[in-house]
Every structure is written in C-alpha cells, then in structure tokens.
Amino acid sequence: MNTFETAHMDRDDRPVEECGVIGVSSPAGEQTAQLAFFGLFALQHRGQEAAGIAVSDGHRARMHKDTGLVTHVFDAASLAPLAGYHAIGHTRYSTIGASSAQNAQPFLLETMHGTLALAHNGSLINAAELREELLQRGFGLTATSDTEVMALMLAAASGKSWEDRLERTMPSWKGAYSLVLLGVDSVVAVRDPWGYRPLSVGRLVEGGYVIASETCALQTLGCVEISEIAPGEIVTIRGDEITRRRTPPAVTGGAHCSFEFVYFSRPDSEWDGRSVHAVRQRLGERLAIEAGVDADVVIPVPDSSIPAAIGYSRQSGIAFNDGLIKNRYIGRTFIEPSQSLRERRVAMKFNALAENLVGKRVIVIDDSLVRGTTAGPLVKLIKDAGATEVHLRITSPPVMHPCFMGVDMGTYDELIAARLSIDELCRHVGCDSLEFLSVEGMLAAIGSQNGYCTACFTGEYAIDTTALRLSARKAGVIS
Amino acid sequence: MNTFETAHMDRDDRPVEECGVIGVSSPAGEQTAQLAFFGLFALQHRGQEAAGIAVSDGHRARMHKDTGLVTHVFDAASLAPLAGYHAIGHTRYSTIGASSAQNAQPFLLETMHGTLALAHNGSLINAAELREELLQRGFGLTATSDTEVMALMLAAASGKSWEDRLERTMPSWKGAYSLVLLGVDSVVAVRDPWGYRPLSVGRLVEGGYVIASETCALQTLGCVEISEIAPGEIVTIRGDEITRRRTPPAVTGGAHCSFEFVYFSRPDSEWDGRSVHAVRQRLGERLAIEAGVDADVVIPVPDSSIPAAIGYSRQSGIAFNDGLIKNRYIGRTFIEPSQSLRERRVAMKFNALAENLVGKRVIVIDDSLVRGTTAGPLVKLIKDAGATEVHLRITSPPVMHPCFMGVDMGTYDELIAARLSIDELCRHVGCDSLEFLSVEGMLAAIGSQNGYCTACFTGEYAIDTTALRLSARKAGVIS
Amino acid sequence: MNTFETAHMDRDDRPVEECGVIGVSSPAGEQTAQLAFFGLFALQHRGQEAAGIAVSDGHRARMHKDTGLVTHVFDAASLAPLAGYHAIGHTRYSTIGASSAQNAQPFLLETMHGTLALAHNGSLINAAELREELLQRGFGLTATSDTEVMALMLAAASGKSWEDRLERTMPSWKGAYSLVLLGVDSVVAVRDPWGYRPLSVGRLVEGGYVIASETCALQTLGCVEISEIAPGEIVTIRGDEITRRRTPPAVTGGAHCSFEFVYFSRPDSEWDGRSVHAVRQRLGERLAIEAGVDADVVIPVPDSSIPAAIGYSRQSGIAFNDGLIKNRYIGRTFIEPSQSLRERRVAMKFNALAENLVGKRVIVIDDSLVRGTTAGPLVKLIKDAGATEVHLRITSPPVMHPCFMGVDMGTYDELIAARLSIDELCRHVGCDSLEFLSVEGMLAAIGSQNGYCTACFTGEYAIDTTALRLSARKAGVIS
Amino acid sequence: MNTFETAHMDRDDRPVEECGVIGVSSPAGEQTAQLAFFGLFALQHRGQEAAGIAVSDGHRARMHKDTGLVTHVFDAASLAPLAGYHAIGHTRYSTIGASSAQNAQPFLLETMHGTLALAHNGSLINAAELREELLQRGFGLTATSDTEVMALMLAAASGKSWEDRLERTMPSWKGAYSLVLLGVDSVVAVRDPWGYRPLSVGRLVEGGYVIASETCALQTLGCVEISEIAPGEIVTIRGDEITRRRTPPAVTGGAHCSFEFVYFSRPDSEWDGRSVHAVRQRLGERLAIEAGVDADVVIPVPDSSIPAAIGYSRQSGIAFNDGLIKNRYIGRTFIEPSQSLRERRVAMKFNALAENLVGKRVIVIDDSLVRGTTAGPLVKLIKDAGATEVHLRITSPPVMHPCFMGVDMGTYDELIAARLSIDELCRHVGCDSLEFLSVEGMLAAIGSQNGYCTACFTGEYAIDTTALRLSARKAGVIS
C-alpha cells in the first residue's frame, strides 16, 4: 500500500517538524546499518512519515527507504543487505502536496565524483530559484524535494572532495539545513551557517563516530565525547577519524530555532550547551513569574508540557498534578469517525481526571497555540469534569508568522494569533484567562537573548524572505 | 505475513494482562462497529497482539479479526461490511505456545440456538478439565483458547435464552472471566462470580448501551450513567433496553484483581467506586509512610509510575521531578540488536536526565518488580548519570506466586522475589536501598482490606488451585 | 487484504470444479510439506481461490492456509515450520456466499482421538441435514463447509482407528467426496462409494506414498506404481506402509463424473484406466462422426479444446489450425473495465488469427456450453476476422441440469440449454450451425456406457436428490 | 516486499526480451489510464518483472509503477488517481545486477521544457559512454537504466518541441529503442533508425490513438487503421490528431530483430506486414524441408512451438499431436526445491503424454536452443514415456553470439552452440538427431532475405559493436 491518509484526530495543534538525520561511520562495519536504524528509532519523534538508510561499503552504495515508521520500514530482511562501513539515515514528516514515497530520503545519485547520498533536515527558502537554475542548465529533476536540488548542485560542483564542493556550494543555499552526506568512503555532515536545526556528533566507544540531529540518539547508541556541530561547520567521519572544518557563520551567534526548545526536541537532548528538559522547566518557571494566577492545581497537557508544568508549580507554589490522561496508542487510524464521534475527537486522545479537577481552579500548561483547534475542546473537557476555573498558560509567545525554514506552522490565515487578539482568543477557547510567555521570557529561560530565531513570534527573519513572501502572497499562502 | 516476533527490548518486566472487551448495542445501528472500534482503541493498553469485532444485524453475524494493533487490523474497508445493531470486540495479548491468529477473538459459532460470538478477558483454571470433558462427549475443538470451550458449552446448554444458558453453565467455570456474548439480537455480558477482572456498562446519549472492560472506553465514547457490572451479574443490552440479572457472587466482597489498580488499568478508569489514578497516588503516599528515606528528588519510572511518584513526593515533601525520558515510539521491532547494542537495551527505551540526577540522592518509584530484568540496568543508568544514591521503591508487594487467572506473571522460577531475599535483591539490582509496599499498605491505598485478590503476593487464592498447581508442578511451571 | 473480487473477464462459461487434494507420507520427513506444495502446484487448475497444508510430525499438527494461488500462499517462510512425516493439502475454488478465508481447507480439529485434519473434493447433498443434526446434538460450527460437518462427525464417532470411524460414518454421507485425512501418525484417504471424483495413490521412489486428486500430480512428484483408489476404498499411508480397505461401492461400476474427462482434469492425467488426453481426442473424433460438416479448417478454443480439435480434424480429414490466440496472463484483475472496454471483454482474452480464417468455412471446437455467455462474442470475433461460415461443435452434450455433487454448473435459469432449443441457441450465438455430442457418443469416447454420472446432461442422478431439489426450488435455485 | 527471487524452475532456456511499451492519447480522457492498463495486459508476455503507467492531464503528470505483473501492480485504487488525456506505460523484464524497483519505468522527470516521462524497449550499446558524458557535464543519475540517460539528454536538448529534441538527440543513440514519451499535452513515439524492436500505432474507434509494441495490444483495444511505425519515424498523438515525421533510417531495409518472429512476439501480432503466427508455421514448413526425418509423430514444446509443429506436420505429412502437457500455472515460486525434487525440475513444468509417445519415433519441435539447459531433461522425459527415437528440430539457427540490443541471450560462455558442435550437442542432449533451421531458411520463412538482424546467429551486427565487445571482453562477458 502506498496510500496514507492522516485522520483528523491525529493532527495536533502543533507545528510540524520536518526531519531527523543520522550518520554513522564504523571501522568494524558489521553493525553500521543497525546503528543507523537504532539512531533513527531514537529520532522517530522528528518524523513518522517515511524512513530510509543508505550504506556504502567503500565500493558501492545500497539503500532502502519507504513510507511508514522506522520499525515498519526496516526489518531483518531489509536491513541485512545494507552492509558497509558508512551509513546515513533519515526520518521525515510529510511535505504538503508531494508524494511521500517519491520524496523519501536519503536521495542517492551517481555523479562524476562517485556515488553520493544525501539526507537533510530543514528547508531552503531559495529552493524554487535554485531549481529553476538547474532546469535552465538542462538538468532533469525526479522529485520535488530540496534534497535533490542540493544533490544535483553538489554533483555538478567542482572541487577535490565533497567537503570542498560543499564549501563552494553552501553560499548559494539560503535556509535551514542540517545535512548528512554519504560518499564512497566517508560520511560528511554540515549545519547551515545560521545553525537553524540541531546537529551533533559523538564517538562510539567500540570505534567510529555517529552524527545525529539530536544528542538523545547519540546517548542511545552509547556515544561519548558528544559535541555540537557549529553553524557552518563541515564534519567528516571515516572509521576512527574525524575532521572538522569551520566555515564562517551567517550571523553572529546563529539563528537557532527556538521552537526546538519549546516543543520539537526530545527532552533528554542537549543543544547549545543546554538540556532541553531543563529549559522547559525554566519556561514554566518564567511563565509563573510573568503570568501568575491564584489557583488550586497546575496540570500539564501531556506529554510535552509535563516539565514546564512542574516548573510552573515549583515557582508558583501551586500543587502539580495530573489532570488529563493521554491514550498512548494514539496514532494513525484510517477510520474516519462519524459525526457524533467526530465531535468527541479530543476525547479519543485525552480523558479528564475528574477527581483532580472537580471544584478546583485549574492552571493548564501547554507549549504552544498555533491553529487553535484543540485548545477549546480541551478546556471544555476540563470544565465538564468539574473545574470551576480554567486558566490556560502557554510556554511560548503567540505564533503570528509562518516559518520558511522547514517547519509547517501554517499560513497567516491559519495562525489564530495572527487573526485574533488575546482577549478574543480567550473567549474563543472558552477559558477564564489566557496568557502567553513573552519573547524575552522565553529567551531568558533558554538562557540567551541572542543567537535564536524567533521569526514565527516576531516576524524578524534572519534571512531576507521578501522574495519568498511575495511569491507566497501570490500563491495565497500569506495575505 | 502472519508471523510476529517480539524482540526483547519490547518486553518490560511487567505482568502481562490478557485482554480487553467491548460490547455495543445501538438502536440506530449505522455506527455500531465504529463505536466498537473506538472503544477497543481506548482499551489498546490491555492487549496489542490481535483485535477483532463481530457484529449482528438481527439476521446474520459478520466478523473481522487479525493479529496486530486495533488500528492495523481495522481500516475503512474492513469495518464497512460490519453493519449491524449489536457488536462485540476484543483486543488481546499473546498466550504462550499458541498461534495468535488461531486464537484471536471473538470466537464465532453457529449453534442450535442461532449464531453466537464470544470474547472474554480472563482465564479458567479448570479449562483443561472442561476441554477434556467436551472431547469425551465427541466435540472437536479448533483452537486452544478458553473462549472456544466456553462457547461450545453454551452451544450445548439448554435454556430459553443465552442468559439462562449462561446461568446454568457458569457454575462449571472456575476462574476469571469478564465476558461479552453476541447473540442474533442482543449483547449479553457477564462477570465471573469472583469479579476478578473489571467490566462496566454505560448509556450512550444518542441511544443504546456500551459494555467495556474499563470505564475509560465508556468515557471516550461519551457514555453517561456508567456503572460497574457486579461479580456474577448478567447484563443484556438490546438497543435502548438494558436488563440486569444478579447471580450469587462466589465470595463475599469478591476477589478483584489488585494489580488492576497497581498497573493494568488506565489511570483515567474507575473501578469499584475508585479512581485508578487516585489509588496510584495513594500507593505512593503509603509507600512514603512505610518506606521513607532521606533524599533530594523523587523520580518515576515513566509512564505508569508518575501518579505514585507525585503521591510519594507530596507525602514525603521531597521534590518530584523527571529523571528518565522514555522513547514514545518503543514498540515492536523485528531487528535483533547485535551484542554491543543488546547490552544497551534499556538505553533504547530510557534516557537519564543528568541535570536532575547529578550529585543527588534519588528515590525511584516503580510499580512492580516481577522477573527483575530491567531494574538493574535502570539503576545503573541513573547512577551513570551522576546520582550519588539510588533508593528503589516499589508501589506493590513482592510478587512471589504465579497468577492462574489469566495474567502472565511468570513461573516460580522466573519470579525473582520468590528466589531472593529483599537484601539479595537489592544487591542484585545494585541500588542503595530497596523497599516494597506491604500488602496491608496496598489495600489501604485501594481503600478496603477485603474483596481483593492478592494471591500473587500472598499465595492465597480465592479458588482452590490445588489441582492446577499439581499439574503445573508436573509441567515444571512451578516446583 | 482479505477481499477478493472476481472481475467478469475472468469468468469463463465453464462449470467450476471445487477442489484438489493431496496427501503425503514419507519416512524421511524433511521434504513432506514440500512434496505437498509441489503436488498442489500440479493441481492448481482444480482451484485457484485458496490453498492450505497441514502436517503432523507424530506428535503435533501444524497448518498454514490462506486465500490465493498455491505459489502466493506458500513461500519458504510459511513452509519452513511445517515439519513432519505426514501431510495433507488442498486447493479450492470459491463456494457461493461464503467467506473464502473461513472455509479454506484443511480443517484442523482437536478430538478425543487426537488431532484430526481433513480436506476434501466434492459436496454432500445431505450436508444441511447432517449439519442440523450436529447442531441439535449441541455442537457448534465455525464454518459453513461440508468439511467441518464431516470432521465433527468423525470426531464424535466411535471406533478404534480413523479407518474404523470412517467406515462407520460413511453410510451417512450422501454425495461426492474424495477425502484426505491427517491423523497423528498417518494419512488416510477415502473415495465416496459412487466414485464421483478422481483419487489415486502412488509410491515415491525415495520412500513413502502420495495420494492425489489426479495422477498428473503423482507423476510430477516422480511416483511409481500409480493406481486408482476404488469407489468406497479407504487407503492408509504411513511412511513405507500402505493399507487398502475396500468398502462396498454404492452402485455397480460407480458414478464417475464424466465432466472430468470433458473439461476438469489435466490432459496428462489418467483416470479409470484411460488417458484424459486420449479421451478428449476421441471426443473430437466422435463429434466428427456425429456432427460432420463441410468446411475448410478446424480450430480449437484454446487451451482445453486442442486435443478434441486434433481428433475432429484427424477423423474428418479437414485441416487443423490455430484460429484463436489466448492471452496466457489472463487471470484475476481488480480493474472493472469501462463500458466501451466491457463490450470487448472477449477480446481481452482471445484474439483471432485472421490469416487462418479469412474467406474460410470454420469449424470451432469447444468442450462445453453452459451459460452461453462467451460463445456469441467468440463467434463474432471469428466472423469479424473474415470467416465466411462458423460451425460450432461442442464435445459434450447440452448441460440441462445442475450438479449437486460439488460442481457449480449454475441453476436451471442460468443453464442456457435448459431454456432454449438448439436452433434457438444457434441463432442466439450467431453461428451457421451448432451441434453437441450425444450422451452415447461421449460415453463411447470415454470407453464405457456404464459407471459414469451424466446427470447434468440427463437429469438422472445416481443419488436420490428429491429432497435437495425441493429445497433448491424453495430457494429459487431451480424452478 | 521489494525482494524478488526467481526460482530456477522459472527460467526457461529462452532469450529474455526486455520490455513492452504502450502510449495512449484520447480526447475523452476518462479511460486513458485504463486503456493503457489493458494494453499492457496484452503485452504482459514481453516482461513480467515490473509495470508502470504515467498520465498527463494537460497540466501535471502522475505516475504509478511497481514490481510485479500488470494485474498486481494496478488495482482500482492505484489506477483511479491516474486521470488524464495522455498516458504511457511499460512492462519490463529484469536487468542483470540492477534493482528492479529503482529501474522500473516510466521514468518521470521535471525539465525546463516541462514534465517528461519516458519508457522504452531496447538497449543502447553506447549507454555507458553517454552516461559518462552526462556525469562529466555535472549531471547526477538516480538509476542505472538507459531510459534515464535518454531522458536527461532530452531534458538538456534544445529545440522547440519534443519531436525536435528527439530528432537532434537520436544521432547520439546507437542501439535498439522503441520509445514512448509523455509530454504535458501529447504522446510522442519513436522507433530507432534500425527498427530493431516492433512499434505500431492504431486509431481508437471512439476517438484517440494508441501506440504499442505489438499489434495484438492494438487489436485488444479495438483499434482500426493499424500501421507500423517506420525505423527512425517520430509519431505524435494528441487526442484525435496524429503527426508522423520520418527521419532517415540507419540501414536500408532496417535491422529488424528476427527473434521477434521466432519467439518474442505474440502469435496474433503482425509485424513488417507479416502475421507472426503465419511466419511460425512457415518456419516449421522450412524446417521439414531442410531437416526431414522418418518418424511417426510431430510434437511441439508447448506453447510457443505449436504453430511451427503444425507447419512441420503439414509439410512432412507426419501426424501432429500433443506429446507434452505444460502446467499453465508455472510462474514464480519462492520455494527452492530440495535435491530430489530439483532433479525433477522439468517435471514441474512438463508432463509427457505416454499414449502418444510409446513405441513411436518422435519429432520434437522447439523454437530455440540457447543455453541448452532444458533440452536434455525434455528428451529424457519423452524417452522415459516410451518413445523409441527422439529427433529434435529447432526452428531457428544455433545462437552463437550475444545480443547487444537489449535481449539477454547470455554470454559466449553460456551459449552452448558457441562451445559445442552440433554432433556434440546432440550427444549432450541425448536425442537421436538434432537439426537447426538455416539462416537462409529462417529468412525465407519470414519472407525476406534483407532487413533483419541475425547477429545472434551470424555475429554480423548492424551497428559497430567493437568498442562494446572490447569492454565486454574485459568484463568477462565474452572471451
């Protein structure tokens, strides 16, 4: 079956991250693909649509990719032929309007410099332009992904090594890209000069190196000496060797995606020297300072807001407790619920714990409010369970602008905070009070007022997006 | 592919529950199978091995069942033919030594009384005996499940209705059974006279009734007037009608499974008039009273021990925090990890949050310790992350006896608390101290010293299991 | 996916045979299931709907069965677990109104006499009656097949061996059954006392015995000492042992199905001491004698009528040639052709060879004319290709009565020869002349005027079918 | 499952054809993809490995392709999205050493001239060279097929239309290619200037045109005004319009593949003004003249040699009859037979008809003898059935040279006639006499001594293959 449908109940009101990447080089070789598999498994939260692994044994490359979860795409039979010393892997979320199967990564290509496979997390804002240039030069393109554009540009680039060709090509690429590249006898990784998306490297105790979108994957594989790849840095791993080449960052301090801390990354990852979990607790603490309210209990929207709710509780002195239970098996379903069930969609996912809510003034902690589709039903669920007041607190600022660097935030029309004032929004959602964390508060919790992209909150993009916004306006994406 | 293998990383050190059941009768009919589907979806935690639904339209019954998760077994195409007013459904865990597909439920049978479908949660301790009796009477059996034995006995029973035939047959059934039965024009449910497993009924606002293993499924479907089915009670639902017939309970107060509160049930279910979540918080509170220790932080083993850890923290005044992060996508994988990865098996599932553990004396709350296979690696993970002391606290007593009522606890040889003293166990696990909740403490947290089966802790079975233990001894299950 | 649809283009105007059976017993054991697989493969023409194999290793039985062709149902993975010394297998055509998967054979049952698996080819005319008796005795039935009825009767029968129990039960069974039975340590086969369907046994050179519906399967497996199982005979094979027990035949000479010679059997099979291919050539020869006509060329409807067309040509002296080419890959398709293509349905399957037809008077040889749906389009195809005259000759008599012994001939309403005179039929089909072989001619070609069932041509059934015809009349099958 | 294995029994001793192509343009549009599907269905004999269809609705192109038979790759669900006015399709045989899925056709590409899809039958002898040129120009290639090379060259070509770009590019292409090209609003087809592979066009009565590898597909779809596309001719179809542009042929009369008449084409196709079936009968007649022998019966190796055997019989006056029966269900099987069965491999596919062979001197007609792997077992089968003499007659000359134009004949080492004299071959096969048709005789039967490629028999290639043979020698393909 190649057809996948996402039933509505599976769509949270969350921004959608694009991808996770992994790169492995091991002098032993016999477990390279397996390490890539378990690494992707630890990055599954970054994309559930498709997965793939490409491997090189020093002579030829082999690849397996398909739509589905990592554990569905790979089994012993599909993993067995992937023998080699070097591997890259990818797990991805869907892209609008494009066939999943066709755009699954890695993207494997024969070039004059030998076989090349590419996988990346991010999005180029000038992809359409680069694509058009390639077409005009007589190239043909088989897919609609940025990855193919990047691969073809590298294939045509001059330079003695993939590192050289990357360095020459990178100035043309505007946008976010944490990229892993499989050559015949090495894995090369690079993070865009803005450093939008995370990318780290670690050493395997038994020999070799691993590169991954998040440190949680490196820890899962037992890596030591874990360090971040810097904005603009090119890192090559080849068995027990590692080579790091710095290229100038695009902006001082970088433009790291602040939403990685708010929602995307696994809480057990570290980024920019900071534990994601610790940042989330501080986001809750800041929120308690900025947006306190007299109440009886603080409850999280599970699972992502648990650390922030603990932080809010700790700071405010108001008791933390569970108030909502999530069905752990929520996932894709092909069954479209009938009308009466559709109205209870949130109930498929969450149940209220009446005994912790009844007669209480409840503070609900959530990490973001994007399209505003689930907040209302959740508030209703909590009130129906007996809460006398519901105060919704969001651990990020209102999302008022689209992301052009690979996160599906929705269009201006879809972003509810771009259309309604906070008061209107509060009435729309039906809560007794609604407050968002300030941009400054969020950055304070992260630990730095600089080096982070806050464009979805502020509209201040680190790259000039005028051309893109113009074409988006034409296409009706923004108004 | 019909073959499923459970990779080791998927096996927690937990007792394994057998099944969840659902029954629906709706005067409208057009959404009966869909209600059953969404109900099973809410009971998915009770069994991930196979699922099935049988439906009757008043004339004939149709069924679809297969191995896999509820969302895999059913899609729009497989659900569409299941048109009818009455439905039963089942989700199951594996049974040792038996083909999953063959034993998937419901079990559908043509009888002299019309079509009959059966699904149940539990296990008869005299199944082998009853089976032998049927064979001697000339019956043939197609499967190895208790369900077929029960269905054949009902098919051959005399009586004017399924309710009558149930009442006449029930005295022969020794053990746990929360059973739903689909007749041509009704759904009949019965709970064994000991009341081992939960079973409740609720009314659909739009008309009709639903019966489910747990109240969380009834809430998900929007039921009102939810009540428990009593031990020995037979409940019939037929569109907007409900009939309840009491039969005498086997023991005063019943022998409800205490492990439902400790681990099996979803925390948002209610049973015996008690919220599972609230009981779990009280288990944590009791444990703090019985087994306090000076420490810096209380952390749960996620997700099941979160409520108890909150309770322990609240009672002890020691701060609650996250210390372990669980990979939400852990599930079946067909990849057998190589040696070096196998040693890191616990790391595939859990990562430690160093910043919450380093330099700290840590109390770890877990709900049970059965075979003792994961406690050691977990303690090591926490110590490796920098904890100075690890105090393991278990919210249930030591499991020292097998369950003969349908829970796969393991054999005496496998039950580590049956082989080691608590001191030895503490050294085996590598923690600084280890304490279990007492049986009395557990029952106090539940709220009653009577009416609960505690056989796996005490060896005191509510039904005479001598014959069974004898044959188990012969078979080497117990020594 | 469990759903199969037969697109129209796949339905020939042919009677539909029910099944093929195989039984293997080998002292070596390691290749028993594989022999069963390759035997079923040689019997694939007898049923393409489902296939299954059950194997016993002397202790326990294992089975695998599913819908689809033999080569789809079995691969190395599904065959590997079927280890044992004794095996039975089955390939089947669909039964009207019944789920394929549920009724797939073998039927495996635990009984007081040990494990029993059954597979058969044929149909009991008193199945409904026997079924009702079982229900009244309190049995439950899981499927709608005769096989389950037979299995349950054997399970409940007394006697020291399966052979004894068969002998005691057979008098209750009215109808056609070539049956293979798998016990714990042997394979037992029996042919009904009328001998409706073929069944033969042969010795494996490397040790052991094989039983099969047709001798072509025995030859494929390299068997020697091939002999037919007599009507009413019970044959047991157990490694290198064979035991044959005669029970009295129902009618002198038997009531062998004449359609096996006309169409069902593979031409390389032998039955009743006669080569099927040779009989088919003689059917063509007789037809030339009975129904000669002046013409230029004799062409077969491929592939089944090639031998008869050669015979007709040889006898008449009119040249044989190909006139129609068949698409060898015709099989199931799930695509329903649009209107304009539907009208060209016969063209999907056959193309005319204009150079052999243009300006010629053509004799077309076909083996049967049942519902009359394809003869017209075929004649048109040949005329459109330039034939000046088309004379249709059928190597069997007009089919005017349904078969109650397991062949789906269609109802009286569907049988075109039961509704139209031969003249009307000739005009309906659009040919210049139409003639059928006489019953006497057919039997002469077979080689005996006795011992054959010709009920579908004559209405003279060897078993009293009054009751059956009565209920069929009520159900509207016959009028 | 992406992995296919061909079990040995599935490998005939036949040359392997590469592909069939179809192109459809219909002003109505609603049945375009369906026509392509049924057309491919009629071309299934040209390739069973993979199938695909690409469709354009005038704006965008959509494609579905996968490994497997046409009827497996397409069902209603996969065909439904392929809406459009213009379609191309492809069915293919495997290529050595290449992943089937990756090389499945059509090949779809975005280009500066708009979307382009390509499918072709044949092989370029200078593909490696052209590929290297593309790589040196900086192109990346995703597959190993000629088709991608051709598509990328067209994408980069200048010219106002695909027809222009084809005309400019064709001089670079050395080899066989019957190609269909899907543009945004038309289908363009071209046959290489040597005319190696067949390609024809016909008009749909209900409007539009169809292009197909063989006329049998055009007839199946009800086409009229069927004509061959000339060597070097470019034909464009766009709804009810057809445009034909001649380019100069490479050699006078062309270099049509003579093996299309001998074996590849369906007998109901016409090519070069000749019926394939009629040519095959004449091949048999010529063989009777050139290689007569006193015998009792002429038998074909079914199915491909039936027409030639009829021709041989007619010419020689020796009676034609069936002597071998073929299992119609022979196809892929994933079961590797054990040793004792492997020895009987030919028996899985063929059974001898003893009654037509016993005591007889038998002439066996086969169409080709390439690797010589099945002739021996076949002769043994016939002798074991009782034939006193077996005279093997082949309706083509000995195959002594590889084909470089897309037919997998095998290497020099594999071609048995390149290694053994006919006498040695006769002894090797075990027949009483063995004769091949002469090249002249074959061409006489075809009807022309000119215009045909006979390189596999004579080593005289119409294109200079020196470079290719050199590299093949290095690679060990030829010696």
Distances (CA, A) of B52 to B19, B47, B70: 11, 12, 8
Nearest to D219 among C221, C222, C351 (CB): C351
Q: Which residue has the tokens 């020292």?
A: B400
Nearest to B110 among C64, C140, C157 (CB): C140
Interface contacts (C, D; CB < 8 Å): 170
Structure confidence at residue C479 (pLDDT)? 45
Structure confidence at residue A252 (pLDDT)? 85
Structure confidence at residue B4 (pLDDT)? 25
C41 and C166 in a common domain: yes
Nearest to C348 among D38, D275, D354 (CB): D38
Structure confidence at residue C2 (pLDDT)? 25
Give the CA angle between residues B187, B190, B196 to the nearest 5°. 145
D227: closest CA of chain C, how far (Å):
16
Q: Which residue, A429, A428, A434, A297, is CA-closest to A353?
A: A297
Q: Answer whether residue B91 is part of any domain.
A: yes
C101 and C40 in a common domain: yes
B160: closest CA of chain A, how far (Å):
37
Q: Answer whether residue D26 is part of any domain.
A: yes
Find, in chain C, the residue whose alpha carbon is nearest to that of B140: C111
Tokens of A307: 């650390």
Whole-angstrom distance, CA of residue D479 vs CA of residue D471: 11
- B351-370 average pLDDT score: 95
- 8 Å CB contact of C111 and B152: no
The kind and range of the H/E element at A457 are helix A455-458
Whole-angstrom distance, CA of residue B164 vs CA of residue A147: 68
Structure confidence at residue B8 (pLDDT)? 30
A446 and A354 in a common domain: yes
D126 and D50 in a common domain: yes
C186 and C56 in a common domain: yes
Give A78's contacts in chain D (Cβ within 8 Å).
Answer: 2
Q: Answer whether residue A347 is part of any domain.
A: yes
Interface test with A, best of B329, B338, B346 (most A CBs within 10 A): B329
Tens digit of pLDDT for each residue in D270-299? 998 999 999 999 999 999 999 999 999 999
For chain C, the domain total comes to 2
B310 and B225 in a common domain: no
- The one catalytic residue in B19, B216, B257, B403 is B19
Is the CB of residue D394 less than 8 Å from the CB of residue D259?
Answer: no
- 8 Å CB contact of D139 and A152: yes
Q: What is the CA radius of gyration of chain C?
A: 23
CATH number at residue B284: 3.40.50.2020
D141 and D276 in a common domain: no
Interface contacts (A, B; CB < 8 Å): 168
Residue B345 has pLDDT above 80, yes or no: no
Q: Answer whether residue B4 is part of any domain.
A: no
Structure confidence at residue A69 (pLDDT)? 87
Nearest to C321 among D222, D310, D338 (CB): D310
Identity (one letter) of the amino acid at C170? M
Whole-angstrom distance, CA of residue C433 vs CA of residue C454: 25
Interface test with C, best of B60, B137, B139 (most C CBs within 10 A): B139
Left (φ > 0), alpha (ψ -120 to 50) or beta: where does B117 sit?
beta
Find, in chain D, the residue whose alpha carbon is nearest to that of A133: D112
Confidence class for position B6, pLDDT limits 50, 70, 90: very low
Tokens of D122: 């044949």
A305 and A173 in a common domain: no
- 8 Å CB contact of B109 and C141: yes
What residues of chain D have any CB closer than 8 angstroms to a CB in chain A? 2-3, 64, 77-78, 107-112, 116, 135-142, 144, 151-152, 155-157
Half-sphere exposure of B214 (CA within 13 A, CB side): 29
Q: Answer whether residue A179 is part of any domain.
A: yes
- 8 Å CB contact of D335 and C42: no
Confidence class for position B335, pLDDT limits 50, 70, 90: low
Tens digit of pLDDT for each residue in A292-345? 999 999 999 998 999 999 999 999 999 999 999 998 876 555 566 666 666 677
- Alpha helices of C80-143 — where are they, by DSSP H? 100-103, 127-136
Q: How many CB atoms lie within 10 A of CB D314?
A: 18
- Reported in sequence order, the residue ranges of B359-416 that DSSP labels E, i.e. its strands, are 361-366, 389-394
Tens digit of pLDDT for each residue in B96-144? 444 556 678 999 999 999 999 999 999 999 999 999 999 999 999 998 8
C247 and C384 in a common domain: no
Tokens of D306: 């039936």
Give B41's contacts in chain A (Cβ within 8 Å).
Answer: 327, 329, 333, 348
- B346-373 average pLDDT score: 92
Per-residue pLDDT of chain D (479 residues; tens, 9 = 90+): 222 223 333 345 766 657 999 999 999 877 899 999 999 999 999 988 899 999 999 999 999 999 888 988 998 888 989 999 999 999 987 654 445 566 789 999 999 999 999 999 999 999 999 999 999 999 999 988 899 999 999 999 999 999 999 999 999 999 999 999 999 999 999 999 999 999 999 999 999 999 999 999 999 999 999 999 999 999 999 999 999 999 998 888 889 999 999 999 999 999 989 999 999 999 999 999 999 999 999 999 998 999 999 999 999 999 999 999 998 876 555 566 666 666 677 888 899 999 999 999 999 999 999 988 889 999 999 999 999 999 999 999 999 999 888 887 778 888 999 999 999 999 999 999 999 999 999 999 999 989 999 999 999 999 987 766 666 555 554 44
Nearest to C155 among B77, B112, B140 (CB): B140
Residue B7 has pLDDT above 60, yes or no: no
Structure confidence at residue A470 (pLDDT)? 64
Nearest to A34 among B307, B341, B352 (CB): B341
C281 and C212 in a common domain: no
Backbone angles phi, psi at D257, to 5 degrees: -70, 120
Query: Which regions of chain C are under pLDDT 50?
Result: 1-11, 96-98, 477-479
- 8 Å CB contact of C335 and D216: no
Half-sphere exposure of B201 (CA within 13 A, CB side): 26
What letter would DSSP give residue B172? G
- The one catalytic residue in D19, D216, D426, D431 is D19
Give D149's contacts in chain A (Cβ within 8 Å).
Answer: none
Q: Which domain holds residue B250?
A: 9-254
Q: Answer whether residue C260 is part of any domain.
A: no
Find, in chain D, the residue whose alpha carbon is nearest to that of A110: D141
Omega into D268 within 30° of 0, i.e. cis? no
Structure confidence at residue C345 (pLDDT)? 74
B208 and B294 in a common domain: no
B301 and B239 in a common domain: no
Structure confidence at residue A477 (pLDDT)? 46
Interface test with B, best of A210, A282, A299, A322 (most B CBs within 10 A): A322
CATH number at residue C51: 3.60.20.10
Q: Answer whether residue A462 is part of any domain.
A: yes
- Alpha helices of C223-297 — where are they, by DSSP H? 259, 276-290
Structure confidence at residue C343 (pLDDT)? 67
Whole-angstrom distance, CA of residue C364 vs CA of residue C366: 7
Structure confidence at residue D200 (pLDDT)? 98
- B158-168 average pLDDT score: 97
A148: closest CA of chain D, how far (Å):
10
- 8 Å CB contact of D34 and C341: yes
Structure confidence at residue D335 (pLDDT)? 60
Find, in chain D, the residue whose alpha carbon is nearest to that of A74: D1
B55: closest CA of chain C, how far (Å):
15
Per-residue pLDDT of chain A (479 residues; tens, 9 = 90+): 222 222 333 345 766 657 999 999 999 877 899 999 999 999 999 988 899 999 999 999 999 999 888 988 998 888 989 999 999 999 987 654 445 566 789 999 999 999 999 999 999 999 999 999 999 999 999 988 899 999 999 999 999 999 999 999 999 999 999 999 999 999 999 999 999 999 999 999 999 999 999 999 999 999 999 999 999 999 999 999 999 999 998 888 889 999 999 999 999 999 989 999 999 999 999 999 999 999 999 999 998 999 999 999 999 999 999 999 998 876 555 566 666 666 677 888 899 999 999 999 999 999 999 988 889 999 999 999 999 999 999 999 999 999 888 887 777 888 999 999 999 999 999 999 999 999 999 999 999 989 999 999 999 999 987 766 666 555 554 44
Give C156's contacts in chain B (Cβ within 8 Å).
Answer: 137-140
Q: Clarify whether C19 is annotated catalytic.
A: yes
Q: Answer whether residue B477 is part of any domain.
A: no
Nearest to D329 among C41, C340, C352 (CB): C41
Is the CB of residue A328 less than 8 Å from the CB of residue B45?
Answer: yes
- 8 Å CB contact of D329 and C69: yes
